[in-house]
Structure 1
Amino acid sequence: MQSFKFIDLFAGIGGMRQAAEMNGGTCVFSSEINREAAATYEANFGERPYGDITRADENDIPDHDVIFGGFPCQPFSICGFKRGFEDARGTLFFDILRIAKAKRPSCLVLENVKHFASHDKGNTLRVVVAALEEIGYSVAVEVINAVDFGLPQNRDRTIIVASLNGTFDFGKLVQSERVTVASVLESNGPFEYVDPAEYTLLGDDVVKVQKQSGLRFVGYRNRNLRKVGVREGTEHLSRVHKQPNRIYCATATHPTLAAGESSGRYWILIDGVVRKLTQRECYRLQGFPDSFEISGSATAAYRQIGNSVPVPMIAEVVRAAGEQGLIAVSDGVEARRAA
């Protein structure tokens, strides 16, 4: 792919930047309001992102070919209250829109949680698509899963690709053979093991691999987390979409790393014993290289990786967009702005 310039909005710790750079992209502007995430970004990329994007004058942002933006997902996630555009964070999409309108990049690659696509019976997504189409972009939307792109993590995400040069074809994404959690495990500790008296493993007659996700739930830690309104046998399990007490098998895939899991309570069964995933293993589950510097407190590190994107999955979207001719280089910026 020919080199291109991009901006990295709601950048987090730089997952989308890595995916863009893997495809020949050069970052000319980045923005991240969270100070701890911005510090990690700076430690790895040598630049401090701009802070609050709502305060940035779009005309001061350098010309670019692509906008990358993992705009805040909390308003649309089933982990939150699903308030969508009623939540101030939900309106941040319109900062992407005003920049796109002013700078006319050839392509936008946006990411959000799976449930963004169905939020408010699809109305939220329809508003986003209509707004992009109104300023001249063709828009394609698909929910894709990191587990299909070389990562052993069941992580469905809504991907929006908007282009001035045609409509993105998700059918041309090249998927990878599925791998297991064992492929990202460190060989040397220190590891945090769990005393066998503190967990219960399910019998082989109960444990099954989920066909679609590849998950294999094998047990739970012996903690009575729920007291009221629970079915018999589920007292030890957290509420839906929260995994801090569940144990999964290393010979299968892993559930979604959650931004709200600030203690890194991800437990795996490997070689007959149960231990906690290390920070590095969590970063590998998102496709971050071992050269990536994990900075800040442990709490911040777990939140940051839970908030990030699956790097190989985004990289494949970028590769396919380039192959389909949807990313035009900077010598056409002025022409696009005049159009």
Structure 2
Amino acid sequence: MTYTQRKQRDLWEREPIFSPSSNNKNYPVKFIDLFAGIGGFRIALEKEGFKCVFSSEINKHCQKVYEDNFKEKPYGDITKINPIDIPQFEVLVGGFPCQPFSISGHKKGFDDTRGTLFFDIARIIDKRHPKLVILENVKHFIHHDKGRTLRIIINTLKELDYFVSYQLLNANDFGLPQNRERIFIVASKIQYFQFEKLQKIPTPQLKDFLDKKGDFEILKKEEYTLIKNPKVQQPSGLIFVGYRNKNCWKKGVRPNTSHLSRVHRQPNRIYSIHGTHPTIPSQETSGRFFIYNDEKQYVRKLTLNECYKIMGFENFKPYHLVAESYKQIGNSVAIPVIRAIAKETKNQGLIRRNCCEVIV
């Protein structure tokens, strides 16, 4: 721990901890939503009593959805944001893009991030010193560029005087029927965030999140094949029950293996409603997610609304183009996971205020 960290920690430990029942209840913790997408982070934090004072998202389609749902159009290009122009805030959140850093870097910290979009996050942090930073990225980010990308980001945040913790979390541990693993980074000015204290919820079944009515796209029986004795895959909770009968390459294929090319491609797999659903990807703009309902004896496509529900979105206004909506929801965050983290940052006292602090 550096001298600056010790001094800052000692100062904040004398400050009142933010909680809904404290004297600060009329002044919610303020946060900024960077790489905001369609607002998953915002929904989660606002449900925990935080207040969004600034958002940034460059994609025009996401901007439209964000504005439709929050009555606020996000700022565009983050590289053009002057940190001084951002309203007062205490928490910075964002699901930033994964980019390789320059191999010419030697300091393994702030300077190595130049030329990447993470540098703009670091630039804002360096100028505004938020008390808390929460970042999210895909599972394989841990191994990106042989682990160098993650090391540089961790070192950068440490260089900016933060206690940095990170953990791979799965949405199916937080009340969603989706096997969705993402890495979360929490940086605090006070102490390390203890991920082990997160309150987890037993994994529900996909069937509890399905629409009761709708214009369902049901496959004909000759369009799919079910397998015998499907088993629950652990720890994902997936139950692979069959595959769509798609034409596949046959030349040079070994006997009794012709089905593998279609089985191994995710868009052609079929899963039981009594298990969980695979990760909803942003690349699948056709929404080829197929589920088997053994009670009604049919295979159908998961609806777009169901995709939103197994990400934790409720009463949400999607984009008017279906393909773009599938892309957007695949790029978003699992709301209950973010909410659990936000709640636990308060429980662990990572949001503290000086009683003389001016709230604007």
Q: Please report the TM-score for the alignment, with normalisation by the length of structure 1.
A: 0.89
Alignment-derived partner of residue 182 in structure 2: 157
1:68 to 85, 90, 93: 93
- What percentage of aligned pairs have identical amino acids? 49
Kindly state the Cα deviation for residue 211 of structure 1 after the two structures are TM-superposed.
Answer: 1.4
Alignment-derived partner of residue 308 in structure 1: 332
* Equivalent residue letter for 1:85: F
Mapped partners of 2:69, 2:332: distance in 1: 14
Residues 1-339 of structure 1 mapped to structure 2, 5 A cutoff: 1-2=19-20, 3-73=28-98, 75=99, 84-85=100-101, 91-204=116-229, 207-225=230-248, 232=257, 233-239=259-265, 243-270=266-293, 271=295, 272-289=297-314, 291-329=315-353
Kindly state the Cα deviation for residue 331 of structure 1 after the two structures are TM-superposed.
Answer: 6.7
* Aligned CA distance change for structure 1 residues 8 and 329 (closer, same or farther; 3 Å): farther
**Contact kept in structure 2, 1:19 and 1:312, CA below 8 Å:** yes
Q: How many residues are paired up?
A: 319
Mapped partners of 1:176, 1:199: distance in 2: 34
Mapped partners of 1:64, 1:171: distance in 2: 27
* Equivalent residue letter for 1:214: G
* Equivalent residue letter for 2:101: F
Mapped partners of 1:166, 1:150: distance in 2: 28
Kindly state the Cα deviation for residue 330 of structure 1 after the two structures are TM-superposed.
Answer: 8.1
Mapped partners of 2:63, 2:228: distance in 1: 45
Give structure 2 stretches of 5+ with no counterpart: 1-18, 21-27, 104-112
Deviations 1:298-318 (A, max 9, x none): 011100000000000110001
Deviations 1:138-162 (A, max 9, x none): 0001001000000000000000000
* Equivalent residue letter for 2:145: D
Mapped partners of 1:167, 1:139: distance in 2: 6
Mapped partners of 2:270, 2:33: distance in 1: 35
* Equivalent residue letter for 2:288: R
Aligned CA-pair RMSD? 2.1
Kindly state the Cα deviation for residue 202 of structure 1 after the two structures are TM-superposed.
Answer: 0.7
Deviations 1:202-249 (A, max 9, x none): 111xx111111000111111113556887713021354xxx2111011
**Contact kept in structure 2, 1:250 and 1:269, CA below 8 Å:** yes
**Contact kept in structure 2, 1:10 and 1:70, CA below 8 Å:** yes
* Equivalent residue letter for 1:316: A
Mapped partners of 2:301, 2:56: distance in 1: 33
Kindly state the Cα deviation for residue 129 of structure 1 after the two structures are TM-superposed.
Answer: 0.4
SS state at 1:216 partner: strand
Mapped partners of 2:242, 2:248: distance in 1: 15
**Contact kept in structure 2, 1:65 and 1:330, CA below 8 Å:** no
* Aligned CA distance change for structure 1 residues 332 and 247 (closer, same or farther; 3 Å): farther
Deviations 1:48-106 (A, max 9, x none): 00001011111111120100110024x4xxxxxxxx33699981111111101111110
Mapped partners of 1:133, 1:57: distance in 2: 23
SS state at 2:341 partner: helix
